[in-house]
Amino acid sequence: MTSDKEIEHAVAVLRAGGLVAFPTETVYGLGADASNPDAVSKVFAAKGRPHDHPLIVHVADAARLADWARAVPEAARTLARRFWPGPLTVILKRAAGVGDLVTGGQDTIALRVPSHPVAQALLRQFGGGIAAPSANRFGRVSATTAAHVRSELGAEVDCILDGGAADVGIESTILDLSGAQPSLLRPGAITARQLEAALGRPLAPPDANSPRAPGTLARHYAPRTPLRVLEGGLMLELAASLARQGKRVAVLARSASRPLQADVRWIAAADDAKAYAHDLYANLRELDAAKCDMILVEAPPPAADWAAIGDRLARAAAGAAPAETT
């Protein structure tokens, strides 16, 4: 675990305008002092991320919301009490004085209180907000261990805090509370149903007036190897047919059992949404590293607790199509 000395060092790096990669319960973040535009611009440079993709500002607790949002609606307070610290991000109207860089020039700001003890210790000692996207190169699979961050962004980061493998494994649920109706911009471990139950009202689907969440477009969370998501039986047929053509195939299976004869790189993932999400990005990285011709993923079941996993897999498939990986 991370020592007090390491946290102190990380805080000094943030105060000096440097970059600190840190664990959260969802995925690792690439953090900078959210109130320092020079530091925030380093985040975009390190990730290779376009400037119109806004960042989430992480704060120690809900009392800090008023520092960043010009109005904190009752719905935000309700959700904060129920789900924070935890894997939920809310979009609110930004406060005067919040920089254009961190918000991508939008009138709104994304805010989250992470629960990971290392993230909490860092935020409490630092005192301010930490702007942090997921600690991966733009468009690629998020990092869920310190080793992932080191291998992908090691040279660009001034300090990496190691808090072990991220517990949840996929990015936070993003809920827009800046409009007339709450709407879900990115599914996550906290489901739409849980949010509706806590708010006592249904969520609206995002519409033309919703704030843009550019990172939720297709071509995201993608390995380099072409990836397809298929129902179990079809997946096994395609794996066999590709193998017959002399192609090397990597499979992320869930309930399908490994065919005895086929020579494929095979990972049997958990058939439980929580455990599956925990290992998803590490599994995709491992299959990608095998440098096969194709990754085949067994489709998740159509259940509410698998929705966020289905969302990430669909984007990985869209983003990994050969024509789009330039």
Euclidean distance between CA atoms 254 and 230, whole angstroms: 11
Sign of CA dihedral 59, 65, 69, 73: positive
CA distance 109 to 62: 14
221 — alpha (psi -120 to 50), left (phi > 0) or beta?
left
What phi-psi label fits residue 202: left (phi over 0), alpha (psi between -120 and 50 degrees) or beta?
A: beta
Q: Mask of contacts with ligand TXA, 60-99, x by CB under 6 A?
A: -----------------------------x-x--------
26 binds ligand TXA (CB under 6 A): yes
Report yes or no: 215 and 53 within 8 Å, Cβ to Cβ: yes
Tell me which of ligand TXA, Mg ion, none is bound by residue 183, counting a contact when its beta carbon lies within the kind-specific cut-off of 5 to 8 angstroms.
none
Please, which of residues 126-145 interact with Mg ion by CB under 5 A? Answer: 134
Neighbours of 19 (CB within 10 A): 24
How far apart CA 214 and CA 87 sit, in angstroms, is 19
Q: Are 91 and 177 in contact (CB under 8 A)?
A: yes
Among 10, 46, 62, 109, binds ligand TXA (CB under 6 A): 109
Helices (H), the chain: 4-15, 37-47, 65-68, 74-83, 100-103, 117-126, 146-153, 192-199, 232-244, 273-289, 307-320
Closest residue to Mg ion: CB criterion = 134
State yes or no: residue 178 binds Mg ion (CB under 5 A).
no
Of the candidate spans 3-11, 170-178, 258-266, 310-318, the one that interacts with ligand TXA by CB under 6 A turns out to be 170-178
Give the count of residues interacting with ligand TXA (CB under 6 A). Answer: 30
CB closer to ligand TXA, 31 vs 294: 31
Is residue 26 at the binding interface for Mg ion, with CB under 5 A as the rule?
A: no
Query: Chain-centre distance of CA 129, in angstroms?
Result: 18
Q: Does 216 bind ligand TXA (CB under 6 A)?
A: yes
Q: Is the CB of 87 or the CB of 300 nearer to ligand TXA?
A: 87
Per rule CB under 6 A, is residue 214 in the interface with ligand TXA? yes
> Sheet of 20-22: strands edge to edge?
159-160, 20-22, 29-33, 130-131, 56-58, 108-112, 88-93, 173-176, 183-186
Query: Pattern of binders to ligand TXA over 119-158, x per CB under 6 A?
Result: -------------xxx------------------------
183 sits near ligand TXA (criterion: CB under 6 A): no
Q: Which of 42, 112, 116, 315 binds ligand TXA (CB under 6 A)?
A: 112
Judged by CB under 6 A, the residue of 10, 13, 20, 27 near ligand TXA is 27
Residues in 247-306 that interact with ligand TXA by CB under 6 A: none
The count of other CB atoms within 10 Å of the CB of residue 66 is 12
Binding part of the chain for ligand TXA, among 2-10, 52-60, 252-260, 289-297 by CB under 6 A, reads 52-60
Q: In sequence order, which ranges of 115-244 are alpha helices (DSSP H)? A: 117-126, 146-153, 192-199, 232-244
- Residue 174 in the binding site for ligand TXA (CB under 6 A): yes
Interface residue with ligand TXA among 35, 106, 144, 283 (CB under 6 A) is: 106
Residue 202: how many CB atoms within 10 A of its CB? 12
User: Where do contacts with Mg ion occur on this chain (CB under 5 A)?
Assistant: 134
Contact positions toward ligand TXA, by CB under 6 A?
24, 26-27, 29, 53-56, 89, 91, 103, 106, 108-110, 112, 114, 132-134, 171-172, 174, 185, 211-216
